[in-house]
Structure 1
Amino acid sequence: MKPKIVLYKALPEAELARLRDRFEVSAFDGIGPHNRADFMAALTEAEGLIGASAPVTTEMLAQAPRLRAVSTISVGIDQFDLATLNRRRIALMHTPSVLTETTADTLFALVIATARRVVELSNLVRDGCWQGSIGPEHFGVDVHGKTMGIIGMGRIGYALAKRAHLGFDMKINYYNRSPHQQAEAQLSATRMPLDALLAEADFVCLVLPLTPGTERFIGREQFALMKPDAIFINGSRGKVVDEPALIQALQERRIRAAGLDVFEVEPLPGSSPLCRLDNAVLLPHIGSATHETRLAMVRCAVDNLIAALDGDLGRNCANAAAVFPPQG
């Protein structure tokens, strides 16, 4: 008899077929009031769970006594009850490698768009307000040769640093728990304390995961340390930033601009003050949103679930230490 799994996000037919070849699949296109009862019932016999874009809560896990592995079509794991997964030694698989380059592209797009006021000036043209050569009130700032401060030098941080240093001759400073030898050797990056990074950077790029220790990591105090002409980029999670403090810094022009792909509440309500600021570039959480990368993420997540239910946690297990704790 095939192991039973629950799928809670629609997949391309080829990847769904791969799952059905190995498992008995209960498939749901998202989780909502219309199907929650059926979803919860399916969990009772599930050994595997795969999907994205929905919290996996303590209540859900309590309904799944046979669960052995969860595979998320994402790199972030903040939507999961990690404590329960760890306690029950349920493997949490994720997709950390396949979206690195695409997400770094998105972050650098925000760097360029904020520096050159791309959205604001595009709207000026569309609104019929371009009547002649623009003046200094519409000028942007250069990107090449400037200093980028990266908070979180992981895979995405390093990919962003490569684009900045090798493509735009930018100086790279970074804040990280441990030194990144490759960034220092190949990109002449300098590791420094957070306060010093904030004071020196022309572009402050946040690429930290959301954990209890990083929630509201950047707030009023940190924005006060930035240069008045600094540009802030957030491609991590919205809750890593104190959003009201960011809004105030933008409204009062304590910093020049912000480029944001993530928000405290998503989708961002149209009533948010951010929507009325011409010095904020706002994207609908599209870091990995290309056809190629999203398909690669799905394939990786399917591979991960198959491997995990076969007992192979050699790659992409976010909580391997908890599932297989060190002996002795």
Structure 2
Amino acid sequence: MRSLEAALDAEFDLAPLWRQADADAFLAAQGAGFVGLVTSVWGPVDAALLARLPNLRVIANFGVGYDALDVAAIRARGIVFSNTPDVLTDCTADLAWAALLDVARGVSAAERFVRRGDWAAGRRFPLQTRVSGKRLGIVGLGRIGRAIARRGEGFGMRIAYHGRRPQADVPYAYHATPQALAADSDFLVIAAAGGAQTRHLVSREVIAALPPQAFLVNVARGSVVDEAALVAALVERRIAGAALDVYAHEPQVPEALLALDNVVLLPHIGSATRETRQAMADLTIANLRAYFRDGRLLTPVTD
């Protein structure tokens, strides 16, 4: 984000790695001079990178998800790190609902139908699926999952969820396994954090448990879903459709999905509004300021 880079450059001695002709050579020569690092989902921080930054003390992650960071290696070095929670919750939940409504009502497919001239030629667009009053299942009832659920209440939906444990302060039904939740859902929305612990949480078995009229919506991380199993279910028409903002190997999208009209494909834009990205940038910088001013982060990751 250009405004974030400009703001960082105004306050810190900034060295964007992506602008180095040879980043490895640059870090070999200059890496010991850096004490702070700003990164995002697009810039993995692994043990190899950390080794080239021997004096690193703080990492500010531009985003709420930090599955691109090797947390164990970071903790082992005693490095603290922050993320940007809360400020992107509403826009990500909005996007989940935009995708859900799109795939259920065939909005993008209908738009293509009009552009191709099919309507003008006298063809009829096929009937689609009602959303209001249906069963909404949410995998991961964190900040974003709760915001998605609140929006579902406005559509009169019966809401259920799966997570690591039941949550006493919500009125929604809890399912102990994602398979049980899938079997009880017309729309299964994935809002769980990424990382090794949730890899393929939505497994082949979970996808098989979805009713044939069900849709899957993923605004979390591509790693949470067994992508090969999902593609097979969609190609074989074993589920009604899917809306995907994330993929296993971004920016690569499985080619088999490109020709399917019952799949909405988005380029990882859950938080991509001007307002939210600016709020994320502001919080990223505020964390760095707080750390270098008094040694503490405003939104540290502690789990």
5+ residue gaps, structure 2: none
Contact kept? 2:27, 2:53, Cα under 8 Å: no
Question: Which residue is 1:134 aligned to?
Answer: 124
Contact kept? 1:195, 1:222, Cα under 8 Å: yes
Q: Secondary structure at the match of 2:103?
A: helix
Question: C-alpha separation between the residues in 1 aligned to 2:20 and 2:202?
Answer: 33
Contact kept? 2:82, 2:287, Cα under 8 Å: yes
Greater mean alpha carbon deviation, residues 300-309 or residues 115-124 = 300-309
Q: TM-score, normalised by structure 2?
A: 0.92
Instruction: Specify whether residues 13 and 74 from structure 1 end up closer, same or farther in structure 2 by C-alpha distance, changes over 3 A only.
Output: closer
Structure 2 counterparts to residues 176-187 of structure 1, below 5 A: 176-184=163-171
Q: Does 1:15 align with 2:4?
A: no
Paired letter, 2:64 = V
Contact kept? 2:195, 2:223, Cα under 8 Å: no
Pairwise CA distance, 1:227: 0.5
Instruction: Specify whether residues 90 and 154 from structure 1 end up closer, same or farther in structure 2 by C-alpha distance, changes over 3 A only.
Output: same
Question: Which residue is 2:144 aligned to?
Answer: 156
Paired letter, 1:209 = A
Which of 78, 81, 89 is the equivalent residue of 1:89? 78
Q: Secondary structure at the match of 1:182?
A: coil
Question: Which residue is 1:249 aligned to?
Answer: 233
Question: C-alpha separation between the residues in 1 aligned to 2:74 and 2:138?
Answer: 31
Q: Does 1:292 align with 2:270?
A: no
Contact kept? 2:33, 2:55, Cα under 8 Å: yes
Per-residue deviation, residues 178-231 of structure 1 (Å, max 9, x unmatched): 2233332xxxx1112223211111100111111222111112211111100000
Q: Secondary structure at the match of 2:170?
A: helix
Question: Which residue is 2:184 aligned to?
Answer: 200
Question: Which residue is 1:103 aligned to?
Answer: 92
Question: C-alpha separation between the residues in 2 aligned to 1:172 and 1:261?
Answer: 22
Q: Does 1:147 align with 2:147?
A: no
Paired letter, 1:282 = L
Greater mean alpha carbon deviation, residues 254-263 or residues 170-179 = 170-179
Contact kept? 1:31, 1:39, Cα under 8 Å: no
Q: TM-score, normalised by structure 1?
A: 0.86
Contact kept? 2:287, 2:297, Cα under 8 Å: no
Contact kept? 2:235, 2:256, Cα under 8 Å: no
Instruction: Specify whether residues 97 and 40 from structure 1 end up closer, same or farther in structure 2 by C-alpha distance, changes over 3 A only.
Output: farther
Which of 151, 158, 182 is the equivalent residue of 1:171? 158
Pairwise CA distance, 1:10: 4.2
Structure 2 counterparts to residues 1-328 of structure 1, below 5 A: 10-12=2-4, 15-16=7-8, 20-21=10-11, 23=12, 25-28=13-16, 30=18, 34-39=22-27, 41-52=29-40, 53-130=42-119, 131-132=121-122, 134=124, 138-165=126-153, 167-184=154-171, 189-193=172-176, 194-269=178-253, 272-313=255-296, 315-318=298-301, 320=302
5+ residue gaps, structure 1: 1-8, 322-328
Question: C-alpha separation between the residues in 2 aligned to 1:13 and 1:315?
Answer: 20
Question: C-alpha separation between the residues in 1 aligned to 2:235 and 2:19?
Answer: 37
Contact kept? 1:227, 1:255, Cα under 8 Å: yes
Pairwise CA distance, 1:37: 2.7
Pairwise CA distance, 1:12: 4.2
Instruction: Specify whether residues 153 and 31 from structure 1 end up closer, same or farther in structure 2 by C-alpha distance, changes over 3 A only.
Output: farther
How many residues end up aligned between the 2 structures?
300
Question: C-alpha separation between the residues in 2 aligned to 1:287 and 1:42?
Answer: 35
Instruction: Specify whether residues 87 and 13 from structure 1 end up closer, same or farther in structure 2 by C-alpha distance, changes over 3 A only.
Output: closer
Contact kept? 2:89, 2:143, Cα under 8 Å: yes
- Could you tell me the percent identity over the aligned residues? 38
Cα RMSD after superposing both structures: 2.0
Question: C-alpha separation between the residues in 1 aligned to 2:288 and 2:185?
Answer: 41
